[in-house]
Amino acid sequence: MNKTEILKNYDHKPKFSFSEIWEKHNSAIVTFFCLIFILLAWVAEGNSSLHFLRIPFYLLAYIIGGYQKAYEGLETLIKEKDLDVDLLMVVAAIGAASIGYWMDGAILIFIFTLSGTLEGYTMERSNKDISSILKLRPEEALVLVGELEQKVKVEELKIGDRVIVKPGDRIPADGIITEGYSAINQASITGESIPVDKIPSNEVFAGTINGQGSLLIEVTKTSEATLLAKIIRLVQEAQSEMPPSQLFVERFESIYAKTIVVSAILLMILPPLLLGWTWDKTIYKAMIFLVVASPCALVSSIMPVILSAISNGARNGILFKGGVHLEHIGQVKVIAFDKTGTLTQGKPIVTDIIPFQEYSQEALLTISASLELLSEHPIAKSIVNAAREKNLTLERASNLQAIPGFGVHGIVHDKVCEIGKELLKDSHNISKEQIKIIQMLEEEGKTVIFTKLDQEIIGFLAIQDTPRPQAKESIQLLKNKGMKVVMLTGDSTNTAKSIAKSCGIDEIYSELLPEDKVKVIKELSQKYGKVAMVGDGVNDAPALATASVGIAMGAAGTDVALETANIILMSDDISKVAYAISLGQKTSGVIKQNLTFALIVIVSLITANFFNGINLPSGVVGHEGSTFLVILSGLRLLR
């Protein structure tokens, strides 16, 4: 290896630069050095030879620990003409120093800075937990330029671009198929539980999942933004949006801070005139009052709790768009579920096997599965899986030919066989009773697949989407919490009753258009109170927006549903709905506990200051200790 290669491979850059460490831990560093200078001042104060250094050390502790708070407080005062807690603390510390209580003021600065550091780490922890659960969808599309394939970002797609979508990929943009055919899983867009066969000239939608065939799609609509950008925005909104309780406390803080300042000024002026107190004693009492009456603990009672709960939800696959939705989800009385893709899996299975004439169920399933053995179509897979579950021996069909939109043609056991949905049209050996059975199955929302042998239909299979494995247990969890659970669906009443029965839902609303779902949500809200709606598709978006809390399925859900909803289940696990409700209820409970505790401490310290007499360090420890405790109390929800 020559010198050039050695220099190339050797990394001269330090793994962590000072600027990176400062950016990440500046608050902790400031708090640490503030403590160091307080300790040095304490040592100098007890040593006659170093006594002259105590004031410089105290000044350094004040400047290092209090500069940022003083700057923020003055900025609020100058720009917003308002007082905040930061400025009150700094003024109290300076006041203590002005009458010789340097150590008392320094301890106030240190504990106040430490509280701010802890709160900052709480928010950072929340950011990390939220970001870690974001499983990004593909942001790139494969564009055909001439004869070459080129990867581009989804937001760079233009109308008229030709996009290649490989089997199993998510379609990156709305468009028209120009080449190829496949079955597209578009349950998240249209609510259809069975994948839809698509051929050239058919429209496809962004966010739907391609099946077994490669497609060439001409883009008809551009993408305004990637899902990543949307999720990042949701995270930012979750951090910045404040719940009503926090907004109330912040409005209260402004009025309260002004009241405290006026009261402190009166306390510094009136006692010497009315009670004969010395000025030193009066100012000292006023400084203690300024500290213990400040609403630090009240202000810190809410946001650490909210951030911790949002973080907890993120680690459990629940993304809250803001604290207000945490409060609301804890107050809901009714949970309304969409059916397709929400309560059901969106994956078809064989539910009925109906053979004709002398054929048995096993014979019909064997012939059907042999024809579908090589197919990647979701319905074909469900038929093959059904045969394998019964341990049937399958023979690979020869001369296999797929007919898009109709089915598959091939030879099994030396006989010409066909399977598909449209074979009934040319059949003559179906009785009226069999047609009634077919109609009944279709009314139940099942897809009927016919199998032909030597031009005669030998039977048919019924395919249907099935409830998610956790659906019944999830509904029961909600019922145990006293929730009323209903189902809203655009499907037929028979299909709705079938799924509702298997999930344990007693009340259903079927054959609903999107505007009908909105109407039902409004009626339920008027009758019972707050309503949460759980859905995944475009057709659910109006109901999600109307509900007190909209909950979207993150993995299968459409961009419109994700945009409209207030809460997103990133793993599509509907059992998390009950978890979200519990988290919301616990969040409200912890906030109430914190506010009560903070008020008790403030009243107790103010009373002690006037009647029993406490020194400034005791007031600082009591006041900032209560702030520290309510922050720790909020962190309980990280568990």
- Neighbouring residues of 506: CB distance < 8 A, sequence distance ≥ 6: 485, 500
Higher pLDDT: 550 or 224? It is 550
Share of the chain above pLDDT 90, in %: 15
Helix (H) or strand (E) holding 344: strand 344-355
Q: What are the residue boundaries of the structural domains of the chain, listed by start?
A: 140-225, 346-466
How large is the average pLDDT for residues 158-171?
88
Higher pLDDT: 152 or 79? It is 152
Q: Which CATH number fits domain 140-225: 3.20.20.140, 2.70.150.10, 3.40.50.2300, 1.10.940.10?
A: 2.70.150.10
Least confident range from 187-196, 308-317, 395-404, 435-444: namely 187-196
Nearest 10 degrees: Cα torsion 536, 540, 545, 548: -80
pLDDT digits 0-9 by tens, 8-59: 443 444 455 666 666 667 777 888 888 898 889 888 887 878 878 888 888 8
pLDDT greater than 60 at residue 7: no
How large is the average pLDDT for residues 528-546?
83
- Neighbouring residues of 449: CB distance < 8 A, sequence distance ≥ 6: 368, 379, 383, 407, 419, 420, 421, 460, 461, 462, 463
Higher pLDDT: 119 or 384? It is 384
- Of 212-216, 225-229, 403-407, highest mean pLDDT: 212-216
Contact criterion met (CB below 8 Å) for 364 and 386: no
Q: Kindly list the strands in the beta sheet with 407-412, ordered across the sheet, starting from the edge strand earlier in the chain.
A: 344-355, 456-467, 447-453, 415-420, 407-412, 398-403
Determine the pLDDT at residue 132.
45
Separation between Cα atoms, residue 340 and residue 556, nearest integer Å: 11
- φ, ψ (nearest 5 deg) of residue 12: -80, -20
pLDDT greater than 90 at residue 478: yes
How large is the average pLDDT for residues 170-195?
74
Residue with tokens 């650490």: 304
Question: Which residues are the active-site residues?
Answer: 338
Separation between Cα atoms, residue 544 and residue 535, nearest integer Å: 7
Separation between Cα atoms, residue 457 and residue 356, nearest integer Å: 8
Determine the pLDDT at residue 424.
64
Nearest 10 degrees: Cα torsion 30, 33, 35, 41: -140
When pLDDT is cut at 50, 70 and 90, the band that residue 480 belongs to is very high
Separation between Cα atoms, residue 340 and residue 361, nearest integer Å: 29
- φ, ψ (nearest 5 deg) of residue 147: -110, 5
| Domain 346-466, architecture per CATH | 3-Layer(aba) Sandwich (3.40)
Higher pLDDT: 412 or 561? It is 412
pTM of the complete model: 0.63
When pLDDT is cut at 50, 70 and 90, the band that residue 129 belongs to is very low
Determine the pLDDT at residue 632.
81
Contact criterion met (CB below 8 Å) for 575 and 313: no
User: Rounded mean pLDDT of the chain?
Assistant: 79
Residue-level length of the chain: 639
pLDDT digits 0-9 by tens, 303-350: 778 878 887 887 787 888 777 888 889 999 999 998 877 888 767 889
**Facing residues of 545 across strands?**
none
Instruction: State the pairing for strand pair 447-453/175-179.
Output: unpaired
* Ramachandran assignment for 100, one of left (phi > 0), alpha (psi -120 to 50 degrees), beta (any other): left
Determine the pLDDT at residue 483.
92
pLDDT greater than 70 at residue 5: no
How large is the average pLDDT for residues 165-185?
86
How large is the average pLDDT for residues 544-560?
74
pLDDT digits 0-9 by tens, 597-606: 988 988 888 8
Identical fold between 140-225 and 346-466: no
How large is the average pLDDT for residues 214-236?
63
Higher pLDDT: 243 or 439? It is 439
How large is the average pLDDT for residues 337-365?
86
Nearest 10 degrees: Cα torsion 357, 360, 365, 366: -110
pLDDT digits 0-9 by tens, 74-121: 777 677 666 666 777 777 778 778 777 788 778 878 877 876 776 666
How large is the average pLDDT for residues 620-637?
80
